[in-house]
Amino acid sequence: MKREHVKLLVLEIFAIVLLLVFFTPMVIVLINAAKTKIEIDNSAIALPINFLQFFTNVQRVVTEPNVKYFSSFTNSLVITTGSLIVIGIASSMAAWVLVRTKTKYSYLIFLFFLSGLVIPFQVVMLPLVRLLDILDRITGIQFADTYHGVILTYLGFGAPLSIFLFHGFIKSIPIDIEEAATIDGCSKPQLFFRIILPILKPIFVTLLVLNGMWIWNDYLLPSLVIGIGGDKQTLPLAVANLVGSFVKAWDLQLTAVVLAAIPVIILFLFAQKHIIKGMTSGAIK
């Protein structure tokens, strides 16, 4: 056997091992979502006695008063959709201006945005809560336990990566297109929304999926801004209601995790080709 074939075989075995490692937790979750609590306590890795138990667990999760599944699902949908729209439009506009504006301050502003990528969220989460209280007193507008409050915070934490990727993609767009549109009488808003934004579709979809998975599955930020058990709680917060100090409903909790993950998996499957295209196109320059 040639040396190249041996290397290829080793890499394939390594890839299979990694696949098993990454998929094992999800397989365990799926298996236990089709069990009763007694079955899980007896053995967490054994196969379910009756796979139809999953649908019974789903019915119990949907009707569980502490979960408020449908309202929590609606809250997650509203917050995720609103955050993605705000992050996408604001970040793409900011990146476009930074690329096309050649001043000594534009690069410094770009670096300022990028600094948000190296600051851990745990460092600023307590000042964030304090800042929302200060804004409440100054403006008279409530930010805690509101849709616009959590969307605003997601904009602050999601903009740095989005601006970075948009910035690299826009640099690959010939400026002649914009100059021709300007000669034809396009204003700045028309130039962006009619010319630039359609060209940004691949990277735009990529960021929608990446940010969407993060926002949909996020627990820490909504727990700080919204709080567990409130009317605006998201699905991750609702799942946390199934865990108490003395009682843990593992069957319902794992079933709720599966239900919460299904929309993200569907979104990723439909948009994966755009993700690959957007990431490769954004890496040209």
Place 276 in a pLDDT band, splitting at 50, 70 and 90.
low
Tell whether the model's pLDDT for residue 281 goes beyond 70.
no
Region 276-282 average pLDDT: 58
> In CATH, which superfamily holds the domain spanning 76-226+277-282?
MetI-like (1.10.3720.10)
pLDDT at 8: 85
Which has the minimum average pLDDT: 14-23, 181-190, 225-234?
Answer: 225-234
Long-range contacts of 197-202, Cβ-Cβ distance < 8 Å, separation of 24 or more: 197/92, 199/173, 200/92, 200/166, 200/169, 200/170, 201/274, 202/169, 202/274, 202/277, 202/278, 202/281
pLDDT at residue 247, rounded to an integer: 63
Mean pLDDT of 12-41: 89
pLDDT at residue 170 tops 80: yes
Among residues 59, 80, 55, 75, which one has the least CA distance to residue 158?
A: 80
Q: Write down the pLDDT at residue 284.
A: 46
What is the residue type of 276?
I
The region of weakest confidence among 1-10, 87-96, 211-220 is 1-10
pLDDT at position 263 is: 86
Inform me whether the pLDDT recorded for 9 exceeds 60: yes
Distance of alpha carbon 48 from the chain centroid = 32
229-265 pLDDT per residue, tens: 778 889 988 888 877 655 677 888 889 889 888 888 8
Above 60 in pLDDT, residue 220?
A: yes
Q: Where are the alpha helices (DSSP H) in 101-120?
A: 106-114
Percent of the chain with pLDDT over 90: 21
